Amino acid sequence: MSSFTHWNESGRPKMVDISDKDSSSRTASAQAVITLSAELYEAIQAGSIKKGDPLQVAQIAGIMGAKKTAEIIPMCHPIQLQGTDFDFQYMKSKEGYELIMQAEVKCDGKTGVEMEALTAVSIAALTFYDMCKAVDKSMVIKETSLLKKTGGKSGDYIRS
């Protein structure tokens, strides 16, 4: 069992010791895609979602999610984020629309922010669903992925 990085010599889970790692500037970008009906898209554009602007609330929830990642993903280290931002883009699709949500997270630290970026878009997508479900329960949250990461021992990554 000790050959696994997140297991101790007794074969029990552990958080990896990063105390000997060097701090570096790190960023990560992640994306989630949500399919939605034309009816929902039109309601959002008209400002007629009864709960309010779903993108505003989703963005706030996503930022909160990034900050709370270590509390909900067991082996993540608590890190001090220097920034979290979002971009939202609607695209026409065969069945209606797709909302592409992207989050970028930054920190200077000893461990990366990939999980924070992925958590940010996941929580934002769930919040968007919650805000809009009264109009369209058929929404699908799909294709959550890491787009890019920079910094750290493993170097940079860009999804091809």
Q: Which residues line the annotated binding site for substrate?
A: 75-77, 115-116
Using an 8 Å Cβ cutoff, are 126 and 144 in contact? no
Which residues, listed in sequence order, are joined to residue 36 by a DSSP beta bridge? 97
User: Is 130 annotated as catalytic?
Assistant: yes
Question: Is the dihedral angle over the CA atoms 148, 114, 109, 1 positive or is it negative?
Answer: negative
Indicate which residue of 17, 130, 136, 156 is catalytic: 130
Residue positions forming the annotated binding site: 75-77, 115-116
Torsions phi, psi for 128 (to 5 deg): -60, -45
- Three-class SS state of 123: helix
Q: Is 74 helix (H, G, I), strand (E, B) or coil?
A: coil
Hunting for tokens 């992640």 — which residue is that?
Answer: 30
If you compute the radius of gyration of the chain from its CA atoms, what whole number of angstroms results?
Answer: 18
User: Would you please indicate which residues are annotated as catalytic (active-site) residues?
Assistant: 130
